[in-house]
Structure 1
Amino acid sequence: MPNPETESPQLRRERLAGLTAAALVCAALPSVALLVADTPTTDERKVAVTSFVGWLAAGALLPMLYWSRYRALGFATYFAPVWLVAVVWCVAVVHGEWPGWAHGLPLGVIVGALARGRRGPQPGEETTAILFAAVLGGGVAWLFVSRGRPFDPAGYYLMAVAMVLVAWTATRLFRPWFELSLEPLVWLAYAIRGRGPGLANFPQTGPCLVIANHACWMDPGFLGKVIPRPITPMMTAAFYDLPGLRRIMVAFGVIRVPEKAIKRDATELQDAIAALDRGECVVIFPEGYLRRTEEQPLRRYGQGVWQILKARPNTPVFACWIEGGWGSYMSYFNGKPTKNKPRDVRRPILVGVSEAETIPHDVLTEHLKTRIYLMNRTIAARAYLGLPELPRFEVTAKGDDTRPDEAEALS
């Protein structure tokens, strides 16, 4: 259970959005069930109720089968307008007929998405909201029945609920909806697979730091694809400040890196530490530089990652290796990104993720030890992808954090 004082604002917004959406659905279900079951004969009533329950269960199964728990929340944003259309159609067009499939399917998808995507709920708060909504919805349904005219008042009541649900999910669940919408484009360009022990028990909440090699512009997206929770990456100001993109980056909580020489008191490092304090999953490419050559798969790590871990030494670290980015359309292979290369179509991308590790205290005492340690942890993640080992980095007699055979290249 997250600590309310340190809970990520993003997680808090998602949890509030989920609770509100669940409450709205629970408030509407009794009235929907009443309208669907309001048929002339007992046999027709049984068929209508069975159809409604069946479509409700089928709809709930769809997001449950989706690979990403977090992005499954985006299904709620998609299907809330579908249900609104169904309600308007029943009120304004068919005048009193409420087919079970038209309401069971979208409501089921919304319920399944909220159940699949919940992260770090507070049980007391969640139970209270849903029970209150169910009682409210049951009371409204009883009011319609007692008056003997369920169609008109119930229809307008459900229309109002559906409108609120659409507005709430569109504004509060924008990020999972946006990422879910990009999935088809990402699928066309890349075949991304994650491997390694770190993925099996990746924490759904709480602070953690993900580090990886950096071979192309799309590396944050590759990590975001395999990591089962929203990530907080860093982005240089050259991209962050692009018109249109900035608003999305702000909404996603991306950390802006100014276009300047690296400094020990860099504001982006303080932003990263603050994100960890809020319980976020921070992604950093410690090289601070895109790969440029075939011969040098990993450059020397900067001191930034050490500064972050020195400030928060108990942070679990996941070291990753991304294979397949070098040579892609977004890499510096054979020229600048997007130049002299064909566009990527189902390009294989493999991401090896090590298990969580807290960096030993004796390593964190010196920045060189920390940087070399993390560089070696990064290349060790290649083993999860079946790739050949690379020589380990070591501190040379001169104090350089290099491999002996690459001292000149890394100087």
Structure 2
Amino acid sequence: MARLRRRFPRRGRGFWFGLAIDLLWPVLVLSSRLRLRGALPERGGVLVASNHLSFADPVSVTAFCLAAGRVPRYLARADLWEMPLVGRVMRSGGHIPVHRGTARVQDSFRDAVRAAEDGECVLFFPEGTFSDDPEHWPRRGKTGIARVALTTGVPVVPLANWGTHRLLPRRGLPRPFRRTPVDLVAGPPVPLDDLVGAPLTAAVLQEATDRIMAAITELLGEIRSQEPDAA
């Protein structure tokens, strides 16, 4: 099990994103038993692909990335930038707005490519939303992360996240005083070298996406000591 760093990296966090981290980290520590395994590349561009279970996921996944020595840059829906306080956090942290259903939707792809090529740690929830599976297995992923990965050639690290759906359920009340176990496990980079340089057809993008989601699902099965639903 990876040991948490005594001091998270501070450079590159920005004031408001850094303040949010400093405020939310004690809450996560007091309300959960955080267990981390795996690692991220210490430097250079990397894409982190995580399953999505709860509104608490950005907090737990940020903690994992910081413990691995990296400051994550999230892709998130653009309307968050319109909120007074949240918008300051998103701008401060250098996160990437996704303009869904508009003419600016390609801006997020361009900005994610630029961040990866600049050596950043870019965080994706490839499902795009919470899993709707009754057993909380990952749903089919969207191809955005595959497009960025195959365009840039940077590694994609799968990250399985489990327990946040009990810490902060989508429905019902949060459970801040139960010290809910929360596991985050990163695996080796997903093998995509044979697809890098190929034309970005729908079939190629879907194959890369399926490999990424399969890697996340396999890690999640290891955490849960269960075989995922074949469907």
2:157 to 298, 311, 318: 318
Corresponding residue to 1:231 among 72, 82, 85? 72
The answer (yes or no) to whether the contact 1:192–1:225 under 8 Å persists in 2 is no
Give the aligned residue type for 1:239: L
Note if 1:344 corresponds to 2:176: yes
Higher RCO, 1 or 2 (CA under 8 Å, sep at least 6)? 2
Contact 2:77 2:100 in 1 (8 A): yes
CA distance in 2, matches of 1:347, 1:357: 29
Q: Does 1:252 align with 2:87?
A: no
What is the aligned counterpart of 1:182 among 1, 5, 24? 24
- Cα distance per residue 1:295-341 (max 9 Å; x no partner): 452111112112111211x2111101111122442x43xx3xxxx23
Number of aligned residues: 220
**Cα separation, 2, equivalents of 1:301 and 1:66:** 29
> 2:50 matched to which residue of 1?
212
Match of 1:193 in 2: 35
What are the residue-to-residue correspondences of 1:15-34 with 2, within 5 Å?
A: none
Structure-to-structure mapping, 1:145-164, within 5 angstroms:
none
Q: Is the contact made by 2:75 and 2:123 (CA closer than 8 Å) also made in structure 1?
A: yes
Letter in 2 for 1:252: G
Cα deviation per residue 1:85-133 (whole Å; 9 max; x = unaligned)?
xxxxxxxxxxxxxxxxxxxxxxxxxxxxxxxx8x9xxxxxxxxxxxxxx
Does residue 368 of the first structure (1) align with residue 210 of the second (2)? no
Shift of 1:364: 7.6
Cα distance in structure 1, aligned partners of 2:116 and 2:191 = 14
Separation of aligned partners in 2, 1:236 and 1:190: 27
Higher-Rg structure is 1
Residue 201 of structure 2 corresponds to none
For structure 1, which segment, 174-183 or 252-261, has the greater mean C-alpha deviation from structure 2 after superposition?
Answer: 174-183
Q: Which has the higher helix share?
A: 1
Is 1:222 aligned to 2:54, yes or no?
no
Q: Summarize the alignment of residues 9-88 of structure 1 with structure 2, pairs less than 5 Å apart.
A: 67-71=5-9, 73=10
2:107 maps to 1:274: no
Bigger fraction of residues in strand: 2
Question: Residues 263-307 of structure 1, C-alpha deviation per residue, up to 9 Å, x if partnerless?
Answer: 896221111111101110000011111123424521111121121
Give 1:321's aligned amino acid: A
Q: Aligned pair in 2 of structure 1 residues 270, 209: CA closer, same or farther (>3 Å)?
A: same
Once residues 16 and 85 of structure 2 are traced to their aligned partners in structure 1, the CA distance between those partners, rounded to angstroms, is: 15
Matched residue type, 1:360 = D
Cα distance between partner residues in 1 of 2:216 and 2:148 = 17
What TM-score results when the alignment is normalised by the length of structure 2?
Answer: 0.81
**What do the CA deviations read for 1:355-385 (whole angstroms, capped 9, x no partner)?**
2345132488412211211111111112552
Contact 1:309 1:364 in 2 (8 A): no
Could you say what secondary structure the match of 2:34 adopts? strand
Q: Unpaired runs of 5+ in structure 1?
A: 1-64, 74-116, 120-170, 392-402, 407-411
Post-superposition offset of 1:210: 0.3
- Paired with 1:343 and 1:242, the residues of 2 have a C-alpha distance of 26
- Judge conservation of contact 2:17–2:90 (CA < 8 Å) in 1: no
Q: Does the residue aligned with 1:326 lie in a helix, a strand or coil?
A: helix
Return the alpha-carbon distance in structure 2 between the equivalents of residues 172 and 288 of structure 1: 25
Alignment partner, residue 20 of structure 1? none
Whole-Å Cα distance in 2 between the matches of residues 354 and 174 of structure 1?
30
Over 3 Å counting, the alpha-carbon distance change for 1:68 and 1:238 in structure 2 is farther
Q: CA deviation at 1:386?
A: 5.0
Q: Which amino acid aligns with 2:87?
A: R
Contact 2:164 2:182 in 1 (8 A): yes
Q: State how 1:354-393 maps to structure 2 within 5 Å.
A: 354-362=187-195, 365=198, 366-385=204-223, 387-391=225-229
Q: Judging changes above 3 Å, is the alpha-carbon distance between structure 1 residues 279 and 221 closer, same or farther for their aligned structure 2 residues?
A: same
The 2-side partners of 1:281 and 1:242 are apart by 24
Does the 8 Å CA contact 2:137/2:228 hold for their aligned counterparts? no
Q: Which runs of 5+ in 2 are unaligned?
A: 199-203
Root-mean-square deviation (Å): 3.0
The secondary structure found in structure 1 opposite 2:214 is helix
